Structure formats: structure tokens, C-alpha cells
Chain A
Amino acid sequence: MYKHLSAIRKECLILLRDKAGLAMLFIMPMALIIISSLMQEFAWNSLSKDPTVQILFVNNDKDSLGYNIEKGLRKSGSFEVIDSLNKVPVTEMTAKAAVAKGDYLIAIVVPEGTTKAIRANVRIMVARTLSGFGMINPLVLNSIVAKDSIDISIYFDVTVKNAFKNALVSSIKANNYKIETEMVFRTFNKEIAKQFPMFHPPEVSYHEVLQFKESFPSYRKKELIPTTAQHNIPAWTIFAMFFIVIPLTQSLIKEREEGSLFRLLTMPVSYMNLIMAKVVVYIVVCMLQTLFMLLAGMLLLPLFGIPRLQLGDDFIALTLISLVVSMASVGYGLMIGTVAKTHQQAAAFGSISVIILAAMGGLWVPIYLMPPFMRTFSTYSPMNWAITGYYNIFLRGGSLIHILPEVTRLLLFFLGTVLVTGIYRKFKSPIPD
């Protein structure tokens, strides 16, 4: 036992003396958590009070719809509407050129006669409706010239990502839909008033009757509204934990290359005993990393205006899932560090494979957005089991019983990596032939 304790002590001393390594292990993951959470919060949520996206707006309509679209964009708070460049009104051509150059991300051009076209369409609707009652001469219909559709052009910079583009277009469409509907109602009233001069319809304002009530059912009685912190911190924590692969593989390979392992193998101590000392120390490091990252979510992120991370209701479950995720990541590092022959091999394979496992596991893109075959793949990523476990605790308010499947999988993964390491070492000496 004391041989094991001595090996643990040696690993701790080596880690503590490596100041740059310690910074990598603890400060970098915390910086990752803070920066990525801030980015996501500011990019996608309403935290940003100042308009951040500049939109070039060309109103060639110069009528109700054009003005209302502009008003709607300004009112949304998400956009800074720009209608002139260098004190010269923006035209479709200058807007398109500015977007093509990359000076602006988006330009919207409302063509001339858009409002008129909508009105014409409404007049046709009114006329058709009233002609059914015999209240209007059907020949009137022929006198109204209408277009089937009107194109509002939206120009995007080529660097605009699809997700952002889709979100933006949806937001503009939703806004325009309301404006268009209100306009239809008003035009309808006006047309009816034209047909029946004695009729004085009241001013209508469109009111959306259909409302969507969002709620988040979970294991808890009290509903918790998920925040960016709840979603992102577990994901980035797992990602950082798996990056323990890099220092662990470096430690394993360094010991081999510097000759210490050569000496140790001539001593009456088993290789697995020495390896297990590393495993214990790096699991503790991983647990500490997790603690620091969760504390960053609880104490540091609120300082930047991001909601405080809620840890869920079951501390034992949280400790257990953190422990098995630490074991899985250390086991993975152990396996790579054993099989890799050089620092370069271990660093390249280790980091790239962690990124692949993270992508596969749904740490960056939610699994429900993945195509079906990727969803199947993702169920084999230990990071997917890890994130599911954390979400069950943080978001669903789950307890020990709700994370048991993930805990079992991660534990088996750890045992599998240790088994592979042991078998590999049984047949392949760690000392280069």
C-alpha cells in the first residue's frame, strides 16, 4: 500500500511543481467556461440591450408596409437600422455592394409599390367576397391589377452562418406577418367603407389570439427555466475534463522517454500499481477541475450578467456523475498514453479524438438536431452519457436513480480502458525494443 501512496505522492509533487501545467489544468478550463458562456449568451439571448446587428434598410415602398417594417426592426431592439451611408440614402445597388464587400452583414430592400400591391390583393379579396353576396359587379374584379407575390430582397454577407441567417429571417418574417395582417385588416375596412359609404367601421388593430405558453416539465415540483449556464456549463466542463488526456499522456510518455520507467520496471513493483497511482491523482485533478468550473458558473458568471448556475437538488448524484466522468476521461487518457509512441502522436490523437467525441456526444450541437445516423453514433460517445447525466441533474432535477444508466456506462468505459491498457502492456513492453 505504501508503494502506491509513495507513487501518488510523487505524482502530486510533479504536478504541483509544474506551474504552467497547473495553469493549463485549472485556469484555462475556467476561462473556457466564462468566455464560451458569455459568447453564447450575448449572441443568442436578449441579454444584449444594445442593437448589435447593423442592417442596411432600403425603403423603396415609401408607404405603410415599408415604414412599418422599418419601425418593427427598430423596435425589436436587436438591430441597428441604417438607411443612409455617408449621409446619402442607401439604394439597392449601394446596399448590395456594401454587403458584397463585407461591410454589412444584411441588407433589406422593400421594393417600390409593395404596399400598393398588398392593397390591390386585399381589394380583390373584398370584391370577391362581396360579389358572392351580389353586392358588387364582378366586372370590378377585372379592373383591379394585382400581383401574386412581391419579393422583399434580403442580402446576406457570404460569411453569415445558416443558423444565424435562419434565426434572423424567421424573426423578420414573424414581424412582417403581423404588419401585413394588420394592413390587410385596415385595407379590408377601407374597401368595405368604399362600397358602403354609410358604413363607418371602427379602427381595427390586429390582436394575436393564439398565444404559446412555454413550460419546462421536469422531475422537480417547482419549474426551473433553463438558462445558458445550465445548458453550457456541463457541456464545457465535460469537454475540459476530457482534455485531461493531454497532460496525462504527456506524463506517461515523459516517464517512458526520460528513463524513469525503465528503472521502475527493474524494481519489485507492478506496472499497473504505478499506473493506478497516476489514475488516482488525475481523477482527483479532474474532480477539482469540475469543482472550479462549477464554482465559476455559480460565482463568476453572475458578475457578467449571466444567470447563476443551479446545481440541481442532489449533491450525491452530482458528485457521483462527476466522479465517473473523471474516471472515464482519465481512463481514456491512460489508454492513449499507453498506446501512443510519442508526445506528438498522443497530443494529436488525444486532442482531435476528444473534439470528435464532443461533437458526436452533442456537446456543441444538440443531438435532436443531428441527422438520424449521427444520433445513433452519438449514443456511443462517453461525452453523450456524461452530458445526459449532468442534464438529468441540472435541468430535470433528477436524483441518483435518474443517472444510474449513465453512471454504469461511464464506469464500464473506464474499466474497458484500464483493461485495454493492461492487455496492451502484457503483450507490449513499455520500453522501446
Chain B
Amino acid sequence: MADLPIIEIKKLSKIYKGSNEPAVSCISLDIFPGEIFGLLGPNGAGKTTTISILCGLFPPSEGDIFIDGLDIRSNPEKIKQIIGVVPQDLALYPTLSARENLTFYGNMYGIRGKELRDRIDGFLQVFGLEKFARRQVGRYSGGMKRRVNLIAGLLHHPKIIFLDEPTVGIDVQSRIMILNYLKDLNKAGTTIIYTSHYMEEAENLCSRVAIMDQGKIISIGKPADLLATNPEFKNLEHVFIHLTGKDLRD
């Protein structure tokens, strides 16, 4: 792990308009290059807000963020070139084919022509979609859509990739394929910031996790270290329940 963090979050807070409670409250966090960092927490914990701020969608109410040494407030466009985002919602146009969707998103990253075509072909092959490249995405299965959704965030070979529940609602085969690919991508040097409600998945995939609740980080560390400090629990899910409680969240 390198010494300098690729993402530096200092006392980040976010209060939405019309709300008295902060969605994120004074969190500080360093993420280092080559990490698969898991941001875990129940609904409303502040994970999506944190990721949205890191992606440049909302300005923080307070605090500073540096991504690859660039201040998020003054360099949003440069930061957008080096990050890739895979949102929880399937951010695809259902009446366009996978190739048309990916061509459009690739163009938006400034890639075009043969280079883009080659990248799309490569990704479609890796994810087993080359035969369906011309089919409208709306006619894809849930797993196929998730795979295209993932490719759209990877086309420009980002240094950092944000994944918001990338495996939600898909079959085991697609899930294994996506997770294996993410591991390979990480081995190649890509930093991954990942949110999920699947604790077992996070435990196996992430090099480090932060557990958030009510806008705060309540625990951070390697999954193995979190288990070691809570020896009474068998796995990360039990630690998670212990830390965040059993109450239902909105």
C-alpha cells in the first residue's frame, strides 16, 4: 500500500436543504491506491451521499476532499476524467442496444473511433455479451443489464472506480463473474470503492471496510481486524449487526 492516499476526506459533512439532521457528519477517511474499500451501513447511513459527493454530484456542506491530490471543489472536471461510477440504478437507455449505450458513454469520456470500438468489443467479450451487443438493453436479463452497467463505468480505464451495490438483484453466476472481474481489475492497480448490503461479499472482496451509521463512521479496518477485535462474532455480518443494531431503517 502506498503512503499517499488517493482519496483524502477531511471532516466531511452534508446537510440537505430542509433537513436538520446531517446525512453525513464530520467524517474523515483516507483511501489508498490499490485498495478495495468497502463502505458498509444500513439504509440511510450516508454511504450513497458520501459516494455522490466523491463523484462530484453534490458539494459538501463542510470539509475537504482530495482525489489523486486534486481538490474536489476546484478540479471537478479533472477528477471526473479519472473516476468511474457504477450507480446502483441501471443507468442505461433501455431502447438502445448495449453497443449504442456504451458508444454513447464512451464518447462522453472523450473516447471515440476504433479505440472505443475495440474497448467495447473487449469488454463485451469478457462479460459474455458479444452475442447480444445489438439487442436492446430493455430486453436483457437483470444480470446482463448489471454487466453492461458495470462496463459503462470502466470504458475509460479509470484510476478509481465507485461501485454502488453492483451485484444487487442478480443471479449467482453474474455475481461471481462481476466480483472476479473486480478482483482482476484491482490487481491491475485500480482503486475500488464499493458499497453493498451483502456482508459476506464485502468480507471476501474488500481489503478494508468502513461501517457507517447515522452519517458517521463507527468502525474502520480490515475485515479480519474487525473480526479480531470482536472475537465473539463469527463473521462480518454479526459484527455489523452488533455495531448498527437490529432496528429497522428507513
Q: Which residues of A contact B (CB under 8 A)?
A: 2-3, 6-7, 9-10, 13-14, 17-18, 258-260, 262-269, 429, 431, 433
Q: For residue A18, which residues in chain B have a CB less than 8 angstroms away from its CB? A: 95
Query: CA A175 – CA B110 in complex, angstroms?
Result: 77
User: Chain A residue with minimal CB distance to B85?
Assistant: A266
Query: CA A17 – CA B52 in complex, angstroms?
Result: 32
New A-B pairs, 15, CB < 8 Å, besides A17-B95, A267-B109, A431-B57: A2-B107, A3-B107, A10-B104, A258-B89, A258-B91, A259-B89, A259-B91, A260-B92, A262-B91, A265-B56, A267-B105, A268-B108, A268-B109, A269-B108, A433-B16
Which one of B90, B108, B136, B152 lies within 8 Å of A17 (CB-CB)? B136
Which of B75-83, B122-130, B198-206 contacts the other chain?
Answer: B75-83
Nearest chain A CB to B169 CB, angstrom units: 14
Query: CA A260 – CA B77 in complex, angstroms?
Result: 18
The answer to whether A267 touches B108, judged by C-beta atoms less than 8 angstroms apart, is yes
Task: Decide if B181 is an interface residue (CB 8 Å cutoff).
Answer: no
The answer to whether A6 touches B103, judged by C-beta atoms less than 8 angstroms apart, is yes
Query: CA A258 – CA B94 in complex, angstroms?
Result: 9
Nearest chain B CB to A125 CB, angstrom units: 82
Interface string of B32-58 (1 = CB under 8 A from A): 000000000000000000001001111
Query: CA A348 – CA B81 in complex, angstroms?
Result: 39
Q: For residue B83, which residues in chain A have a CB less than 8 angstroms away from its CB? A: 266
Query: CA A2 – CA B104 in complex, angstroms?
Result: 10
User: Chain B residue with minimal CB distance to A269?
Assistant: B108
Which one of B17, B100, B152 lies within 8 Å of A433 (CB-CB)? B17
Q: How many residues of B contact A (CB 8 A)?
A: 35
The answer to whether B90 touches A266, judged by C-beta atoms less than 8 angstroms apart, is no
The answer to whether A262 touches B109, judged by C-beta atoms less than 8 angstroms apart, is no
Query: CA A269 – CA B81 in complex, angstroms?
Result: 10
Which DSSP category, helix, strand, loop or mixed, fits chain A's interface?
Answer: helix
Q: For residue B108, which residues in chain A have a CB less than 8 angstroms away from its CB? A: 3, 6-7, 264, 267-269
Query: CA A9 – CA B96 in complex, angstroms?
Result: 11
Nearest chain A CB to B228 CB, angstrom units: 36
Which DSSP category, helix, strand, loop or mixed, fits chain B's interface?
Answer: loop
The answer to whether B56 touches A6, judged by C-beta atoms less than 8 angstroms apart, is no
The answer to whether B87 touches A10, judged by C-beta atoms less than 8 angstroms apart, is no
The answer to whether B100 touches A262, judged by C-beta atoms less than 8 angstroms apart, is no
Given known pairs A6-B103, A13-B95, A13-B96, the reply for A263 and B136 (CB within 8 Å) is no
Q: For residue B112, which residues in chain A have a CB less than 8 angstroms away from its CB? A: 2, 6
The answer to whether A14 touches B57, judged by C-beta atoms less than 8 angstroms apart, is no
Interface string of B4-33 (1 = CB under 8 A from A): 000000000000110000000000000000
Q: For residue A431, which residues in chain B have a CB less than 8 angstroms away from its CB? A: 52, 57-58
Query: CA A262 – CA B17 in complex, angstroms?
Result: 19
Q: For residue A269, which residues in chain B have a CB less than 8 angstroms away from its CB? A: 108
Q: For residue A262, which residues in chain B have a CB less than 8 angstroms away from its CB? A: 57, 85, 87, 89, 91
Query: CA A131 – CA B28 in complex, angstroms?
Result: 117
Residue from B85, B107, B136 having most chain A Cβ neighbours under 10 A: B107
Query: CA A55 – CA B111 in complex, angstroms?
Result: 75
The answer to whether B87 touches A263, judged by C-beta atoms less than 8 angstroms apart, is yes
The answer to whether B90 touches A10, judged by C-beta atoms less than 8 angstroms apart, is no
User: Chain A residue with minimal CB distance to B49?
Assistant: A433
A to B CB contacts below 8 Å, 10 in the list: A3-B108, A9-B104, A258-B90, A258-B94, A260-B93, A262-B57, A263-B87, A263-B152, A265-B57, A268-B80
User: Chain B residue with minimal CB distance to A433?
Assistant: B16
The answer to whether B89 touches A7, judged by C-beta atoms less than 8 angstroms apart, is no
Which one of A14, A259, A433 lies within 8 Å of B87 (CB-CB)? A259
Given known pairs A18-B95, A260-B91, the reply for A429 and B100 (CB within 8 Å) is no
User: Chain A residue with minimal CB distance to B104?
Assistant: A10
Q: For residue A260, which residues in chain B have a CB less than 8 angstroms away from its CB? A: 91-93
Query: CA A269 – CA B111 in complex, angstroms?
Result: 12
Nearest chain B CB to A68 CB, angstrom units: 69
The answer to whether B110 touches A3, judged by C-beta atoms less than 8 angstroms apart, is yes
User: Chain A residue with minimal CB distance to B16?
Assistant: A433
Q: For residue A433, which residues in chain B have a CB less than 8 angstroms away from its CB? A: 16-17, 58
Query: CA A7 – CA B52 in complex, angstroms?
Result: 23
Residue from B83, B87, B91, B108 having most chain A Cβ neighbours under 10 A: B108
Q: For residue B85, which residues in chain A have a CB less than 8 angstroms away from its CB? A: 262-263, 266
User: Chain B residue with minimal CB distance to A428?
Assistant: B17
Which one of A2, A10, A263 lies within 8 Å of B100 (CB-CB)? A10
Query: CA A83 – CA B58 in complex, angstroms?
Result: 79
Query: CA A17 – CA B134 in complex, angstroms?
Result: 13
Query: CA A306 – CA B175 in complex, angstroms?
Result: 65
Nearest chain A CB to B222 CB, angstrom units: 28
Q: For residue B16, which residues in chain A have a CB less than 8 angstroms away from its CB? A: 433
User: Chain A residue with minimal CB distance to B92?
Assistant: A260
User: Chain A residue with minimal CB distance to B56?
Assistant: A266
Query: CA A267 – CA B82 in complex, angstroms?
Result: 9
User: Chain B residue with minimal CB distance to A15?
Assistant: B95
The answer to whether A14 touches B89, judged by C-beta atoms less than 8 angstroms apart, is no
Q: For residue A13, which residues in chain B have a CB less than 8 angstroms away from its CB? A: 95-96, 100
Query: CA A385 – CA B116 in complex, angstroms?
Result: 47
